[in-house]
C-alpha cells in the first residue's frame, strides 16, 4: 500500500477504532504517533502495542487549545520533518433528548468533534503544503447521513465534519493534499459492548450484511484512503456500515 515509512498522526488513537487504526498502519510499517486525552491512556496504548511488537510515539495535548496543538506539531516536525497522514478520530457522542441537553453539553460535543478537527488541520496544513503532499482523514458517522432520534449534538457535529471534509478537499487539492472522511456504522467498540443485547440485536437485523462492524473494518478504510491506491479520491465521505444503497 506504499505506506512504509509514512508518518501518521492519529487523534483518539488510544482505544477502539483509533487504536486498531494505529495497529493497522504499523502492520504496513508506517511511523505512528498517537494523540490521547490523558498521559495514562497514551502510555497504556503505547505499552499494549509494544507487547504486540509495534513501536509508536504518543502525546496528550488539549485538542481544544490551538496553541498547545501547534506546539506539539512543531515538536513532531523537528523529529520527523514531515507529517504524511493526519487522522482526526477523537470525538464524543451524545444521546439525550434536546430538552434534557444543556447548552454546555451541546457545546462540549461541538468543541471536540468539530473545533478540534479544525485545530488539528490548521496546525498540520502548513507542513503539508511545504511537503507538497499529504492526506487528511476525518472520522464521520452514519448518523451524519441519517440523523439519530436523540443526542442531536452528535449528528450535527458529524454533518459539520462532512462539510469541512468536502470544502477542504477543494481548497487543498492544488497543494496535492487529499481530504476524505470515513463514516462508520455501528462498530464493536467498548461503548457498544456495554449495550444490552436487546438493544443491539434489532439494529443488526437492519444491516444487510447481518453483523455490526469491527474496528478493523474502519481501520482498513483509513488504510485504503491513505494509500496510493486512493490517489485520485478526495472529498469523499466513505460509508463503512454494512448497508446496501441504491
Main-chain phi, psi angles of 213, to 5 degrees: -75, 160
Yes or no: say if 208 and 242 are a contact pair by the CB < 8 Å rule.
yes
Spatial distance between the Cα atoms of 140 and 91, rounded to a whole number of angstroms: 10
Spatial distance between the Cα atoms of 83 and 5, rounded to a whole number of angstroms: 11
Task: Output the nine-digit C-alpha cell for 9.
Answer: 498522526
DSSP designation for 40: H
DSSP designation for 32: E
Angle ∠(240,29,12) on CA atoms, nearest 5: 50
Please report, to the nearest 10 degrees, the dihedral formed by the alpha carbons of residues 140, 163, 63, 127 taken in order: 110
Yes or no: say if 87 and 11 are a contact pair by the CB < 8 Å rule.
yes
The one catalytic residue among 66, 80, 154, 232: 154
- Count CB-CB contacts under 10 A for residue 214: 14
- Alpha carbon of residue 72 to chain centroid: 18
Main-chain phi, psi angles of 139, to 5 degrees: -85, 115
- State yes or no: is 154 an active-site residue: yes
Where residue 2 falls (left for φ over 0; alpha for ψ -120 to 50; beta otherwise) is left
Any idea which residues carry the catalytic annotation?
A: 154
Amino acid at each position: 500500500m506504499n505506506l512504509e515509512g509514512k508518518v501518521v498522526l492519529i487523534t483518539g488513537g488510544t482505544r477502539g477504532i483509533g487504536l486498531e487504526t494505529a495497529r493497522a498502519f504499523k502492520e504496513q510499517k508506517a511511523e505512528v504517533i498517537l494523540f490521547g486525552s490523558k498521559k495514562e491512556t497514551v502510555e497504556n496504548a503505547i505499552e499494549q502495542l509494544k507487547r504486540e511488537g509495534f513501536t509508536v510515539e504518543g502525546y496528550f495535548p488539549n485538542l481544544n487549545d490551538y496553541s498547545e496543538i501547534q506546539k506539539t506539531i512543531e515538536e513532531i516536525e523537528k523529529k520527523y520533518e514531515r507529517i504524511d497522514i493526519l487522522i482526526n478520530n477523537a470525538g464524543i457522542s451524545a444521546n439525550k433528548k434536546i430538552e434534557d441537553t444543556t447548552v454546555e453539553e451541546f457545546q462540549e460535543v461541538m468543541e471536540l468533534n468539530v473545533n478540534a478537527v479544525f485545530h488539528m488541520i490548521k496546525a498540520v496544513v502548513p507542513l503539508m503544503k511545504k511537503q507538497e503532499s499529504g492526506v487528511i482523514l476525518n472520522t464521520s458517522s452514519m448518523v451524519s447521513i441519517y440523523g439519530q432520534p436523540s443526542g442531536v449534538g452528535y449528528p450535527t457535529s458529524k454533518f459539520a465534519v462532512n462539510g469541512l471534509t468536502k470544502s477542504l478537499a477543494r481548497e487543498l487539492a492544488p497543494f496535492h493534499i487529499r481530504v476524505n472522511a470515513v463514516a462508520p456504522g455501528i462498530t464493536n467498540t467498548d461503548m457498544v459492548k456495554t449495550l444490552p443485547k436487546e438493544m443491539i440485536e434489532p439494529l443488526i437485523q437492519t444491516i444487510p450484511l447481518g453483523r455490526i462492524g469491527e474496528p478493523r473494518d474502519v481501520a482498513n478504510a483509513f488504510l485504503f484512503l491513505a494509500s496510493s491506491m486512493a490517489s485520485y479520491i478526495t472529498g469523499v465521505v466513505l460509508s463503512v456500515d454494512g448497508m446496501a444503497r441504491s
